[in-house]
């Protein structure tokens, strides 16, 4: 249905190959294991340093140790900080304590990337590593990618008008070194590598945590059958995704685009018929 | 330092396998509901949900009012006016034809202006024509508009000057063929986003836009054409204005939680009340003021204004639904639970 209207839309498998690369390198990505994140924000700093990302405001949010807030044009890694009141396993309510959850968020580099689909100029493109990158010299500042992203990743840089986001350090990948955030992460919470390997490693890690009694551990964004075809960057979380500011069941908006175009065609036909009927009915 | 090199992973840190949080997090306490930042009282029966300090999940569109809602309205008026123009010409209503052609050209030009204003500079519209990308309604719309606007202008030029009648007729027919698409593609444009109050309405949005476009085009006809020729647009305007309100209600109901953004956003709510009131006034004046030029023109103007406010209401509801994580989280959570 989708394929004859828009070739390439919602094809499964290797995004680099379906974007036309012949014999691409393995798809690369991030596995962010939040269970070992210590919230140091070294990833935020390294990202800014390497990519010359401008200052994103010296704000005091007053809500937690997170003064960055969320991903945006000038924040390509964002460390979420959550403080929860919890009851320890097997304990009574009187023993309620506090736990801290920390998680470094990043662009998911979706298999079915809405930002890339809706970009009218081709500024957003798929690299040979299967990642999604903005070519800033082509970006037209139309802003369509921004509300298209189901995760709220890409955003407009003020005073510039163009859209910016994580490139998964395309320049570094091209010369065979890992992205700045993964390189600097002191606990290897951010792990970089071929996506297949990361998925296997993540599965082992969840099993390990479950066996140790950390029943909250779950993977987020690793499933190729989810609404975005699986992320190139995925996570191990210790609570529901929405607690970290992540959508629980994101869907690429272009999945419904063929249906939208059909509705537009029907409505356009209805418009023409309605006007014609009005003229027919009115006589002179 | 660990690193992934071409020779594989090197220097893996021992902390990677640390088992943390064993004692914690088995049961979370039922917590305060996140999501309300402003201390507003929750609506009764509202689904509970969690969020990250009430911060939005998606990034809000950077599109601004009045540029973008104005663009939606102007494009709709232009597109439907071109259809009216062609039929007026075919049925021998020169005054109505002229009025509709000029309306379509002026609104198309204004919509282009709104678009360029939003993009920042005129050259950026031309950049839109560097690619032809069916997965982007904005790309499709740019091509559509690029073909449509010159046709509409040629039709107006011929109608106003009386020159090149054949070219004028061909341009009129061409603009009428593209007009319905110009009026409705913008529904796919805004629905093809993660904005809940836009995306969830994608089945009805093009029909709401079509009705709204007919209503404003007919309204302009009532305002500008000779009364003797306004029979068809009177019928069209009354029907379309009535249908617009019904379709809007239908759309909101079909959207589930996202539909509530039309109530929650004060701007959207106010715009919608205004749109409904103006539509009713337009219908009444057009139906009862048949013999009065002034009443008919006032009715037409009401329809135009009502149609415009409808687009502003949709725009503001979308913005409100993007700002509140509830509209993103609750439907997705419900979907997961039903799976």
- Predicted confidence (pLDDT) at residue A139 exceeds the cutoff of 60: yes
B59 part of contact set with chain A, CB < 8 Å: yes
Confidence of residue A89 (pLDDT cuts 50, 70, 90): low
The answer to whether residue B82 scores a pLDDT higher than 70 is yes
Q: Which residues of A touch B114 (CB under 8 A)?
A: none
Pull the structure tokens for residue A106: 């990043």
pLDDT confidence tier of residue B8, bands split at 50, 70 and 90:
low
pLDDT band (50, 70, 90) for residue A11: low
Give the model's pLDDT for residue A85: 86
Query: What integer is the mean pLDDT of B70-84?
Result: 98
Which chain B residues are within 8 Å of A216, Cβ to Cβ? 21, 25-26
Residue A183 contacts residue B3 (beta carbons within 8 Å): yes
What per-residue confidence (pLDDT) applies to B22?
61
* List of chain B residues whose C-beta atoms are within 8 Å of the C-beta of residue A257: 135, 137, 188, 192
Q: Residue A281: its pLDDT value, please?
A: 86
pLDDT of residue B208: 98
Contacts of B287 in chain A (CB under 8 A): none
Q: What's the pLDDT at B286?
A: 96
Is the predicted pLDDT of residue B36 greater than 50, yes or no? no
Edge-to-edge strand ranges of the sheet holding B27-28 = A97-106, A77-87, B27-28
B49 Cα to chain A: minimum distance (Å): 8
- pLDDT of the residue at B168: 96
Mean pLDDT of chain A: 92
In chain B, pLDDT over 70 holds for what percent of residues? 88
* Residue A94 pLDDT: 74
Which of B2, B24, B78, B216 would best serve as a mutation to test chain A binding (most A beta carbons within 10 A)? B24
pLDDT band at B336 (very low <50, low <70, confident <90, very high): very high
Interchain proximity B52–A155, CB inside 8 Å? no
Interface test with B, best of A179, A246, A275 (most B CBs within 10 A): A275
A-chain CB neighbours of B20 within 8 Å are 35-36, 214
- B11–chain A nearest CA distance, Å: 11
Identify the weakest region by mean pLDDT among A39-48, A183-192, B22-31, B141-150. B22-31
> Looking at the partner chain, which of A63, A146, A192 has a beta carbon nearest the beta carbon of B53?
A63
B258 touches chain A (CB under 8 A): no
> How does the average pLDDT of chain B come out, rounded?
90
Query: pLDDT at residue A282 above 50?
Result: yes
Q: A interface mutation test: which of B61, B144, B180, B336 has the most A CBs within 10 A?
A: B180
The residue that leads in pLDDT, B20 or B318, is B318
**Is B57 a residue whose pLDDT tops 80?**
yes
Please say if the pLDDT value at position B5 is more than 70: no
Q: What's the rounded mean pLDDT across residues B288-297?
A: 93
How far is residue A189 CA from its own chain's centroid? 17
Q: What pLDDT shows up at residue B33? A: 46
pLDDT at B39: 43
Say whether B87 and A9 touch across the interface (CB within 8 A): no
**Best CA proximity match to A222, nearest among A243, A245, A244, A204:** A204
CB A118 within 8 A of CB B192: yes
- What is the architecture, at CATH level 2, of domain A16-250? 2-Layer Sandwich (3.30)
Q: A15-29, A99-113, A216-230, B121-135: which has the minimum mean pLDDT?
A: B121-135
Distance from CA of B162 to the nearest CA of A (A): 24
Cα–Cα dist A36/A214, whole Å: 13
Q: How confident is the model at residue A97 (pLDDT cuts 50, 70, 90)?
A: confident
> Which of A149, A242, A249 is facing B58, going by the closest CB pair?
A149
**And the tokens for B74?**
């102007």
Q: What chain A residue is nearest to B326 in terms of C-alpha separation?
A: A242
Chain A contact for B329, CB < 8 A?
yes
Out of B20, B179, B206, whose CB is closest to A264?
B206
Q: CA-CA distance, B7 to B203, in Å (whole number)?
A: 52
- Quick one: pLDDT at residue B48? 83
pLDDT at A109 over 80: yes
Q: Which sequence spans correspond to the domains of chain A?
A: 16-250, 252-284
CA dist B85 and B158 (Å) reads 13
Question: Residue A3: what pLDDT?
Answer: 39
User: How does residue B34 score in pLDDT terms, banded at 50, 70 and 90?
Assistant: very low
Neighbours of B276 (CB within 10 A): 19
Based on C-alpha coordinates, what's the Rg of chain A? 22
Chain B CB contacts of A118 below 8 Å: 135-138, 192-193
User: Could you give the percent of chain A with pLDDT greater than 70?
Assistant: 94
- Across the range B113-129, mean pLDDT stands at 87
Residue from the list B29, B31, B59 with its beta carbon closest to the beta carbon of A72: B59
Of B131, B191, B232, the CB nearest to A279: B232
What was the pLDDT predicted at B65?
Answer: 92
For range B36-60, the mean pLDDT? 71
- pLDDT at position B122 over 50: yes
Q: Give the pLDDT band of residue B25 (cuts 50, 70, 90).
A: very low
Q: How many CB atoms lie within 10 A of CB A108?
A: 26
Examine the pLDDT at B14 and tell me if it is beyond 70. no
Tell me what pLDDT residue A196 has. Answer: 95
Report whether pLDDT(A248) > 90. yes
pLDDT at B120: 83
Residue-range domains of chain B with CATH: 67-327 (1.20.1630.10)
Q: What is the pLDDT of residues A44-86, one digit of tens each?
A: 999 999 999 999 988 899 888 999 999 999 999 999 999 988 8
Q: Does the beta-carbon distance from B59 to A153 stay under 8 Å?
A: yes
pLDDT-based confidence at residue B40 (cuts at 50, 70, 90): very low
CB contact under 8 A, B4 and A146: no
The pLDDT-based confidence of B37 (bands split at 50, 70, 90) is: very low
**Secondary structure of B88-136 in HEC code, one letter for each residue:** HHHCCCHHHHHHHHHHHHHHHHHHHHHHHHHHCCCHHHHHHHHCCCCCC
pLDDT in tens, B212-260: 999 999 999 999 999 999 999 999 999 999 999 999 999 999 999 999 9
**Hey, what's the torsion of the CAs at B327, B329, B331, B336, to 10 degrees?**
170
Q: Looking at beta carbons, which residues of chain B come within 8 Å of A179?
A: none
Check residue A92 and give its pLDDT: 72
Q: Which tokens hold the place of B216?
A: 């404003």
ipTM: 0.93
Here the tokens at position B286 are: 């057009």
């Amino acid at each position: 249905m989708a394929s004859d209207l828009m070739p390439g839309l919602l094809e499964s498998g290797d995004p680099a190959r379906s974007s036309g690369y012949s014999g691409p390198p393995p798809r690369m990505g991030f596995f962010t294991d939040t269970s070992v994140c210590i919230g140091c924000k070294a990833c935020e700093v390294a990202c800014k340093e390497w990519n010359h990302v401008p200052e994103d405001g010296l704000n005091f949010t007053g809500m937690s140790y997170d003064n960055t807030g969320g991903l945006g044009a000038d924040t390509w890694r964002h460390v979420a900080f959550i403080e929860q009141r919890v009851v320890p396993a097997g304990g009574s309510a009187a023993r309620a304590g506090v736990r801290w959850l920390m998680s470094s968020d990043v662009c998911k580099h979706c298999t079915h990337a809405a930002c890339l689909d809706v970009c009218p100029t081709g500024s957003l493109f798929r690299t040979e590593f299967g990642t999604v990158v903005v070519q800033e010299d082509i970006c037209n500042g139309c802003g369509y990618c921004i509300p298209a992203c189901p995760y709220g990743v890409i955003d407009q840089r003020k005073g510039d008008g163009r859209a910016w986001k994580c490139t998964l350090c395309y320049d570094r990948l091209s010369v065979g070194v890992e992205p700045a955030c993964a390189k600097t992460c002191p606990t290897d919470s951010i792990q970089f590598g071929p996506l297949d390997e990361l998925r296997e490693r993540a599965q082992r890690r969840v099993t390990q945590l479950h066996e140790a009694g950390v029943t909250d551990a779950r993977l987020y964004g690793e499933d190729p059958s989810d609404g975005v075809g699986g992320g190139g960057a995925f996570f191990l979380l210790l609570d529901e995704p929405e607690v970290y500011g992540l959508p629980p069941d994101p869907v690429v908006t272009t999945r419904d685009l063929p249906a939208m175009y059909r509705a537009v065609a029907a409505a356009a036909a209805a418009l023409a018929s309605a006007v014609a009927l009005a003229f027919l009915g009115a006589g002179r | 330092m660990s690193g992934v090199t071409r020779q594989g992973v090197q220097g893996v840190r021992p902390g990677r396998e640390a088992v943390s949080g064993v004692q914690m997090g088995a049961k979370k306490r039922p917590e305060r509901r996140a999501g309300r930042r402003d201390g507003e009282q929750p609506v009764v029966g509202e689904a509970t949900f969690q969020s990250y300090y009430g911060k939005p999940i998606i990034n809000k569109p950077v599109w601004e009012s009045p540029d973008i809602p104005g663009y939606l309205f102007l494009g709709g008026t232009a597109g439907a006016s071109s259809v009216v123009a062609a039929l007026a010409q075919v049925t021998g209503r020169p005054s109505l034809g002229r009025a509709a052609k000029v309306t379509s050209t002026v609104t198309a030009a204004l919509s282009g202006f709104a678009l360029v204003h939003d993009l920042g500079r005129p050259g950026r519209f031309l950049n839109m024509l560097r690619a032809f990308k069916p997965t982007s309604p904005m790309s499709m719309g740019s091509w559509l508009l690029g073909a449509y606007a010159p046709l509409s202008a040629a039709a107006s030029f011929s109608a106003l000057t009386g020159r090149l009648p054949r070219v004028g007729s061909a341009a009129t027919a061409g603009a009428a063929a593209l007009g319905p698409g110009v009026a409705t593609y913008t529904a796919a444009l805004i629905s093809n986003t993660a904005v809940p109050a836009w995306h969830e309405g994608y089945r009805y949005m093009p029909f709401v836009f079509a009705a709204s476009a007919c209503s404003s085009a007919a309204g302009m006809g009532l305002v500008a054409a000779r009364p003797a020729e306004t029979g068809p647009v009177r019928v069209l305007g009354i029907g379309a204005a009535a249908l617009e309100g019904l379709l809007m209600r239908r759309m909101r109901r079909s959207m589930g939680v996202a539909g509530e953004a039309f109530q929650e956003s004060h701007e959207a709510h106010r715009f919608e009340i205004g749109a409904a009131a103006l539509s009713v006034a337009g219908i009444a004046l057009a139906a009862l003021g048949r013999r009065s030029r002034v009443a008919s023109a006032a009715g037409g103007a009401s329809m135009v204004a009502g149609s415009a406010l409808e687009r502003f209401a949709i725009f503001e509801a979308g913005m409100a639904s993007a700002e509140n994580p509830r509209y993103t989280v609750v439907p997705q959570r419900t979907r997961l639970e039903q799976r």
